[in-house]
Copies of this chain bind each other. A is one copy, B any other.
Amino acid sequence: MFRIMNVRSVPFEDATASARIRDAAIARFGAQGYDRTSVREIAADAGVSPALVIHHFGSKEALRHACDDWLATQLIGEKTRVAAPEVAATIREWLDDPERFRPYIDYFATMLADGTEGGNRLFDRLVHDTAAMLDAGVADGSMRESSDPGMRALIITVHGLAPLLLRDQLARAMGTPFASSATIRRMTRPMLELYTHGLYADSRMLDAADEALRGVAPTGSEPRSDKGPGNPNQDPDPPTHGRPDTW
């Protein structure tokens, strides 16, 4: 009724066929992925013939594009709204009512993972909004300054998106459904601890990285610096911490 009114989770009888098709497509694409979804499935869900799907949207790929656009509009708003961080706000709103908005959450995740054009646009928008929010936080003194605000905004955005993309793994590991109250409650404090105090007890890692980054040639294969179990962040990716030299 309020903001995203047209966004009823389940298509209604009275909804136009084209809208029912779009809703069914979003649900299927989000739940099983674009490739694993057939036009016939979508048509059946919408109570319609496969031919009508093509008639209305032109092709399966065009249908996906229409879904992307529609969801982006839901997220960003018809005409770019006044305040910047609208996308994040809307997504938070979605996560408030997971049962109702799950299809959109899922579809949004697949957009990002598939590297769709619409997904790229939304990602860039998120980074932009995040940067704005961080700037505001720094301005009012609630957040720390960064040596590279743009990069920090990118990193925080990526970290924020991560649980969305790994929601299945998260739910499995935690034993509670994703976006449930229990999951959120359990994640809140550790997450805030991380964002408030950090992980490291002192700045040794940071200092070591500074030194390593200062005078090292971009190329080259110097020997690894540290290796003990006390080393950095550890996993695949930003494991930068432990061995920031060789990268």
Q: Which of A182-231 contact B (CB under 8 A)?
A: 182, 184-206, 209-210, 213, 218-219, 229-231
**A18 at the binding interface (Cβ < 8 Å):** no
Q: Which of A95, A130, A189, A236 has the most CB of B within 10 A?
A: A236
Q: Which residues of B contact A182 (CB under 8 A)?
A: 218
Pick 8 A–B contacts, CB within 8 A, sort by A: A95-B239, A108-B236, A137-B230, A142-B200, A144-B193, A152-B194, A158-B169, A160-B235
Is there contact, CB below 8 Å, between A234 and B130?
Answer: yes
- How far is B188's CA from A190's CA once the two chains are assembled, in angstroms? 23
| Residue total for A at the interface (Cβ-Cβ under 8 A) | 103
* Chain B binder among A2-10, A43-51, A57-65, A120-128: A120-128
- How far is B91's CA from A165's CA once the two chains are assembled, in angstroms? 20
**A72 at the binding interface (Cβ < 8 Å):** no
**A73 at the binding interface (Cβ < 8 Å):** no
Number of copies: 2
Q: Which residues of B contact A187 (CB under 8 A)?
A: 151, 155, 238, 240
Q: Which residues of A contact B (CB under 8 A)?
A: 33, 35-36, 85, 87-88, 91-92, 95-96, 108, 112-113, 115, 119-120, 123-124, 126-127, 129-130, 132-133, 136-137, 140-144, 146-148, 151-152, 154-166, 168-170, 172-174, 181-182, 184-206, 209-210, 213, 218-219, 229-244, 246-247
- How far is B171's CA from A50's CA once the two chains are assembled, in angstroms? 38
Return the contact of A193 from the options B126, B146, B161, B244 (Cβ within 8 A). Answer: B146
CB of A176 to closest CB in B, whole Å = 11
Is there contact, CB below 8 Å, between A181 and B112?
Answer: no
Closest residue of B by beta carbon distance from A168: B115
Q: Which residues of B contact A247 (CB under 8 A)?
A: 95-96, 181, 184-185, 188
Is there contact, CB below 8 Å, between A120 and B169?
Answer: yes
- How far is B160's CA from A230's CA once the two chains are assembled, in angstroms? 16
Given known pairs A169-B115, A203-B196, the reply for A190 and B152 (CB within 8 Å) is yes
Is there contact, CB below 8 Å, between A200 and B161?
Answer: no
9 A-B pairs closest in CB distance: A184-B247, A162-B162, A160-B235, A35-B35, A136-B229, A198-B198, A91-B236, A151-B190, A163-B237
